[in-house]
Copies of this chain bind each other. A is one copy, B any other.
């Protein structure tokens, strides 16, 4: 991994995502621009110190020099935007596949150059436009491709956020700072950071090609250099029309990415904050709500699903909270220290026995057709 040092947000997400299915194990990294910070993070992650590097250039060279059976099989790039291009190109040229956070680069010229490198090396390059990883987004694409909506006429993609409604970048906030710094973020803030997700979602779901755009960007927060609000009208080659909105000053909004697609036979609505549901609209029948995990969904949606319907994907995280706390309490016991009080909060045998008392009382009440006390058998 390159990037993802102490305090970074997206690096942690990449690491959890990589761990979830056991496809990847993290074994090397250059986690920060300052070598000592990189080593600090490597220690925190329990890595072999010999595989924690001070710089990404050093890492690329050293890993490439290792034999094929020892070196990393892929690198994950989670740096600020301006480093995506040089880091990715360097690792690709060293023969190592790349998983890279978006946007791919900070300029179109760099992106074209990187495309050439990928084509030339023939290596895998994955870009974490993560919203297309949702099962119901895959279902949406399937529905459009299968003709269920007919010919697409109108697409609305919006991405309202409110976190930059103050000059957070002036407060030392790490993520706000680089996103509002043209040198590190590239020429755009709202469009580059979130508008690019909205655009990618439109392309992924509809397969439509954009003919032309008309845009109005503005910095709504006084004193801000880069745009924090964008409205874009879109003309597709097919004649369909679209609207793409991206805003970092929609005060109080969290991460409201949403997509609406209307064809001549039906429409669909997907909202990222409620990702397990896909709404279908028809001119001549009741609205439908498809839920993640349903056996009648497409192969692509089912392939991307780990849990049955009604178990929101955060279900895993709720489970993981119990495992994390229990693991820490067990670890503390082994180490002979006290566990953090916050990590004692998991159900234990007392809860279990209380539950069994409830079940037995319920069975007894039903059998006797009367109230049954929970204090024991009367």
Contacts and interface: CB of A to CB of B under 8 A. Distances in A.
Q: How many monomers of this protein are in the complex?
A: 4
A31 to B, nearest CB: 15
A188 interface: yes
Contacts of A13: 307, 315-316, 319
A213 B372 contact: yes
Interface stretch (A35-43, A53-61, A126-134): A126-134
A64 interface: no
A134 B311 CA distance: 12
Contact of A324 (B21, B102, B105, B310): B21
A251 B363 contact: no
Contact of A326 (B124, B212, B214): B124
A245 B347 contact: no
A124 B334 CA distance: 11
A241 B267 contact: no
A200 interface: yes
Contacts of A264: 165-166, 221, 249, 251
Contacts of A23: 323-324, 327-328, 331
Interface in A89-120: 97, 99-100, 102-105, 107-108, 110-112, 114-115, 118-119
A34 interface: no
A321 B188 contact: no
A341 to B, nearest CB: 9
Given A154-B247, A252-B281, A363-B191, A319 B374 contact: no
Nearest to A256: B310
Nearest to A308: B9
